[in-house]
Amino acid sequence: MIHITQIKNIEIAGIDPNDAPEFCDAYFLSATMIDSGRELSEDELDGLKNDYPEVLTTMAFESFL
């Protein structure tokens, strides 16, 4: 499991204003490991969505505003 504090350059997508405030269609599009600079794989990004849904929702909400 990747801890959210181990990544940077987090991008999200799938923000639909009609889904506010849950933003159930939002997902992590990309992110980079801080220590190595490696881009996360699609499976790792899916894992982040499952492990940190509150981070995704907060980012989607902030992006929506």
2-27 confidence digits (pLDDT tens): 999 999 999 999 999 898 888 999 99
Report pLDDT for 39: 98
| pTM summary value | 0.90
Neighbours of 37 (CB within 10 A): 9
Spell out the residues 6+ positions from residue 63 whose beta carbon is closer than 8 angstroms to its own. Answer: 12, 15
User: Residues 24-40: pLDDT tens digits?
Assistant: 999 999 999 999 999 99
Q: Which residues pair with 11 in a beta bridge?
A: 30
